[in-house]
Homo-oligomer: A and B are copies of this chain.
Amino acid sequence: MDESALQECLLDLKDLVDSRLESCIEQAIPSHGQVAELAGDVLLAGGKRLRPLLVILAYELVGGCEMEEILPLALAFEMIHTATLVHDDINDNAKTRRGIPTLHERISQEKALIAGDWLFVQGFSLGGIYEERVVTIMADCCALIASAEFKQIDHVMDLATSPDDYLAIVKGKTAGPFSAGCEGAALIAGASPEQREALLRFGMEMGISFQLVDDLLDIRGDERMGKPRGSDVYEGKMTLPLIHALTILHGPKRQRLTEIILGFNDSMFEELIELLIWADSISYTEILIKTHIERARSALDIFADSKAKGALRAISDLVVERFA
């Protein structure tokens, strides 16, 4: 299958996911009212639908061929992802998300909190139809998101945050859901233990690359993020470029970087980027992205070539291309 046909196939799949998410909200509004409407506003405001696409393609890769069998899990992961965005935005006091004002800004914190809960419930409702092992994967994944969020809070503005701390947070918060989605899909498709393990690793490596790209986009600024450039730095989140630069730099340069991180404002942006370039932290992060994407791709080696495999590779290209 050539590249443009694969892109087409991904777009069709995304359209399917979008329309099903829309149906979920439409069906809920008559009985749940405004909470479903507001949750729908966030859920349907865009988003790459990366998690559901990975779930569906992982299922197909192992030979699953009943779209209706896997769609609930795919939608469940998107619902849960959106729930965490709504609650994160409250905690970060974020003003915009996907280019529109966040729910707590537009309506109220009270209702945003509950709308997030509602999205969690929809996710678990969709995922709760599967066998116990799948439910356990979802639940463990969500519990580890919570635990990673605690760790992230503990490391806000913590200049001693290590790459290991960073990876633990990313594995729990970003890569864990990618990995759990792929693993759950593999189970549902009746994967062998080897296939299941391979897809779990694929998801984890993809998720790490994805977060590293996000870290770079936050610094470079990218309109697709739908939030202001430098949000992570403002919020005191220790992204990998910052952690790397803090390790490499010393003397006055490290001192200045410290000051910038602890008291960041927009006027410091160019200076921050200069310091990160000086420390080679941007290139370092780019190299890591490639390493993890390569690992993700090679996790797929055990599978024979297929449309699903091509599509998963195409997604891994897209992840890298976001920052290229």
Contact = CB atoms under 8 A, between A and B. Distances in A.
B129 A113 contact: no
A270 interface: no
Given A132-B129, A144-B32, A146-B35, A139 B110 contact: no
A33 interface: yes
A160 to B, nearest CB: 18
A188 interface: no
A249 to B, nearest CB: 30
- Quickly give the copy total for this chain: 2
Interface stretch (A4-12, A61-69, A116-124, A202-210): A116-124
Contact of A113 (B113, B121, B122, B132): B113
Contact of A125 (B33, B87, B139): B139
Interface string A299-311: 0000000000000
Q: Chain A interface secondary structure, helix, strand, loop or mixed? A: helix
Contacts of A124: 120-121, 124, 128, 135, 139
Contacts of A142: 117-118, 121
Contacts of A84: 117
Given A136-B125, A139-B121, A111 B147 contact: no
A40 to B, nearest CB: 13
Contacts of A113: 87, 90-91, 113
A65 B84 CA distance: 39
A149 interface: yes
By size class, the interface of chain A is 35 or more
Most buried by B among A31, A132, A135, A146: A146
A138 B109 CA distance: 25
B128 A139 contact: yes
Interface string A81-117: 0011001001100000000000000001111011111
5 closest Cβ pairs, A-B complex: A125-B139, A128-B135, A124-B124, A118-B146, A121-B142
Interface of A: 28, 31-36, 83-84, 87, 90-91, 108-111, 113-118, 120-122, 124-125, 127-129, 132, 135-136, 138-140, 142-144, 146-147, 149-151, 153
9 contacts: A28-B143, A34-B150, A87-B114, A87-B117, A91-B110, A118-B147, A122-B139, A124-B124, A125-B135
Given A32-B143, A36-B147, A128-B139, 7 more contacts: A83-B117, A114-B149, A117-B117, A120-B124, A121-B142, A124-B139, A128-B138
